[in-house]
Amino acid sequence: MVREKTTGNLYALKCLKKKHLAQSNLENEINVLRRIKHDNVVGLEDFYESRTHYYLVMQLVSGGELFDRILDRGVYTEKDASTVIRQVLQAVSYLHENSIVHRDLKPENLLYYNTDENAKIMVSDFGLSKMSEHGVMSTACGTPGYVAPEVLAQKPYSKAVDCWSIGVITYILLCGYPPFFEDNETRLFSKIMRAEYAFHTPFWDDISESAKDFIRNMMEKNPTKRFTTEQALKHPWIIGDTAREQDIYQSVCEQIQRNFAKSKWRVRNSSRTFFKWCFTERWVHMGT
């Protein structure tokens, strides 16, 4: 964390070792971050480099990860999930309007701005994002389980891959487990490429048909038939008209705890780096 000397405002500091990072990858992330400014996107404030490291001064987001907040709530409904996904869609729609594809949307990259009960969702981590003026990409990248069928099939793909990932996230938010799960990666990818998933009993019995319809449209195997962000934002479940307010906290949280490690339980490797050289003019390093 760093503090801006003139204002006293706090910011997050992202430190990257040069030897672990291709220059082109960092340049891509910096170019993307400098191009975007949205209420639901973690923004870049400044950038520095030393002989061994790159330093990104980022907007401070202190509300924690999505799953952690759900587990801590005590009460959780479809309406809550709909509110989260609507904000993600608004952010991703903005990215797509600016010819940017995130390519790595997943719950770990969705953070709460602060600890307030009604804090907004922030989309983060643009390390795999791509500025695509022509709309077609070919590099296979993303996180297994969230990546779209056309990427795994090694076909040219478009911004529709982000919409698939949002569909997967929505599915998880409503049941607590992923739509595709196999210990064997080959079988996992095979299921994804066939779009082979189901709404299992009893976990989906109390979930509205509208929510399931939304997921089907987002997780459409054919990317040309898949919902765009604009279409998704107009869906009744996202608008809030059909999202149920029945409490699903217990069933969802049991599955989240079973299938996803809570971030605060993870063992995090930390490294010490000294920032004396770059924060003498504008920034004061506050420690990790």
Long-range contacts of 16-24 (CB under 8 A, 24+ apart): 16/53, 16/54, 16/55, 16/56, 17/52, 17/53, 18/49, 18/51, 18/52, 18/53, 18/54, 19/52, 21/54
Q: Are strands 2-4 and 10-17 parallel, antiparallel or unpaired?
A: antiparallel
To the query of whether residue 68 is one of the catalytic residues in this protein, the response is no
Distances (CA, A) of 167 to 123, 213, 218, 235: 15, 11, 5, 13
Please identify which of the residues 104, 116, 125, 162 carries the catalytic annotation: 104
Given a contact cutoff of 8 angstroms between Cβ atoms, the answer to whether 212 and 164 are in contact is no
Q: Give the list of residues 6+ apart from residue 101 with CB closer than 8 angstroms, or none.
A: 95, 129, 130, 132, 137, 158, 159, 161, 162
Given a contact cutoff of 8 angstroms between Cβ atoms, the answer to whether 287 and 1 are in contact is yes
- Compute the distance between CA of residue 138 and CA of residue 124 in angstroms, rounded to an integer: 22
Q: Which two tokens stand for residue 235?
A: 């869906």
- Compute the distance between CA of residue 164 and CA of residue 101 in angstroms, rounded to an integer: 12
Distances (CA, A) of 284 to 6, 10, 13, 170, 281: 10, 9, 11, 39, 8
- Compute the distance between CA of residue 16 and CA of residue 248 in angstroms, rounded to an integer: 40
Q: Are strands 100-101 and 110-112 parallel, antiparallel or unpaired?
A: unpaired
Just list the catalytic residues. 104
